[in-house]
Amino acid sequence: MTIHDAIIVGAGIAGASMACALAGQGWDTVLLDRHTFPRHKVCGEYLSPESRRSLIELGLDSVLSGLQPSPIPIARIRIAASAGIPLKLELPASAQAQSVSRYALDLALQAEAHARGAQVRTSSTVTAISQTPEGWQVTVRSRERESYTLQARAVIGAWGRMAPAGLSDRAPAKSFMGLRTELSGVPADAAVELYFFSGGYVGLVPSDVDAGLANAAALVTPEAFRRCGQSVEGIIAEAARAVPALGKRLLDAKPVAGTAAAATVELGRSPQAWGIVPHIGDAAAVIPPLCGDGMAMGLHAVTICAPLADRYLRGTLTLGGWRAAYNVALTQDFAGPLWWGGLLQAGLSKRGLSPVLLGLGRVLPSLAYRLVEATRLRAR
């Protein structure tokens, strides 16, 4: 049986970027995902400067520049709650972000991985991973074949927020529902917007300025999800009633058919760099909504893990050394932003506290900017 150099389980942004990095170094790389692409995913579609920096470091900036539809510049942050006046912050030129289509970006990164020599196998579900004297054995079930096994010297988990059955040793964490849809009839605004209400939040970013389209993403408690009819339309309608600023933005908004997605999201867990195998992306850490952005952290994990994986495959780093170095780096880089993001989310979700926090941000904008910076990743 062929022993591949690396198998990556999960072909989202983190997994596909890791495949690009390893295949680009000449390693025999296989990228597996249980889904077919392109597909709509639960994502705020907010690409921060930190994300762009990681893509450049990974040699993937050309993928972003060639993306269709093109990324949309984001120059402002707007935060509102059910009570109090919204807080508006202009982003300095060095911190301006972009809105990007995950539907297009995931597929483009997979195409780049294939162009660099990686095997990309979608509709392929990993059911087991076990260690062998040569490395790892991965059991896969696909639509074309009932079940088969692959061997690899290294395996990396990029399976997202929820690990496949039997592949996680994490303790259960608090579960939320993540939802997204595209909305038409939303007036154009080059801003990332967060609206907090009892039970969760709704975020907006423009997806097509000329057509008046916006990406709406929500994170809500299971109770709020049931209360709103277990649908993204119900959640957005309740949020619009609860938060006047959002109601004004969505007066003429309508969901675009075929763009909805939903997923269970577990928050409150510490970063886990390694389980059965090393983790990247949401498999390593699922972030609060006020913690920069998930794409930045997913890509940052790749920039840490990929060079260590390369050294391991070259024989200049032991498996234990890879595990120790990756665990230290990921924990150090993620701990601060995750703590501050969780703290701000908790405060803005409380009806009595949110007006105080938003008012403080208006009176002391320098403090608001410092808090925003505290949720962001630092350059290594």
254 and 184, same domain (yes or no): yes
225 and 155, same domain (yes or no): no
What's the alpha-carbon Rg for the chain, to the nearest Å? Answer: 21
pLDDT at 120 over 90: yes
Residue whose pair of structure tokens reads 């995931």 in the numeric block: 106
Query: Quick check: is 159 in a domain?
Result: yes
192 and 138, same domain (yes or no): no
How many domains are contained in the chain?
A: 2
291 and 207, same domain (yes or no): no
Query: Quick check: is 95 in a domain?
Result: no
Give which of 65, 336, 329, 290 is closest to 193, Cα–Cα.
290
182 and 257, same domain (yes or no): yes
**Cα separation of 334 and 2, whole Å?**
37
| End-to-end CA gap in the chain | 40
Report CA 134 to chain centroid distance, whole Å: 32
Query: Quick check: is 48 in a domain?
Result: yes
Query: Quick check: is 12 in a domain?
Result: yes
pLDDT tens digits, 299-350: 999 999 999 999 999 999 999 999 999 999 999 888 888 777 777 777 777 7
pLDDT at 142 over 80: yes
Q: What count of other Cβ atoms lies within 10 Å of the Cβ of residue 262?
A: 17
For Cα atoms 335, 341, 342, give the angle at the middle one, nearest 5 degrees: 90
pLDDT tens digits, 49-108: 888 889 999 999 899 888 888 899 999 989 998 888 899 988 877 777 899 999 999 999
238 and 290, same domain (yes or no): no
309 and 214, same domain (yes or no): no
pLDDT band at 234; cut points 50, 70, 90: very high
pLDDT tens digits, 160-178: 876 665 666 555 567 889 8
Query: Quick check: is 183 in a domain?
Result: yes
Scored b (16 or more CB within 10 A) or e, 307-338 reads bbbbebbeeebeeeebbebbeebbeebbeebb
121 and 34, same domain (yes or no): yes
Residue 257's pLDDT is what?
93
161 and 253, same domain (yes or no): no
pLDDT at 380 over 60: no
pTM of the model: 0.90
Give which of 368, 371, 380 is closest to 90, Cα–Cα.
368
- Helix 354-363 to helix 365-374 angle, to the nearest 10 degrees? 110
CATH code where residue 293 lies: 3.50.50.60
Residue 356's pLDDT is what?
77
226 and 148, same domain (yes or no): no
On whether the CB atoms of residues 262 and 232 are closer than 8 A, the answer is: yes
251 and 270, same domain (yes or no): no
Query: Quick check: is 83 in a domain?
Result: no
Q: What count of other Cβ atoms lies within 10 Å of the Cβ of residue 26?
A: 12
The domain of 158 spans 3-71+101-172+266-345
CB within 8 A of 113, min separation 6: which ones?
Answer: 16, 19, 20, 23, 29, 31, 120
pLDDT tens digits, 27-66: 999 999 999 999 988 888 888 888 888 999 999 989 988 8
Name beta bridge partners: 148.
140
Provide the token pair at 202.
């709704």
**Cα separation of 158 and 133, whole Å?**
23
290 and 166, same domain (yes or no): yes
On whether the CB atoms of residues 8 and 15 are closer than 8 A, the answer is: yes
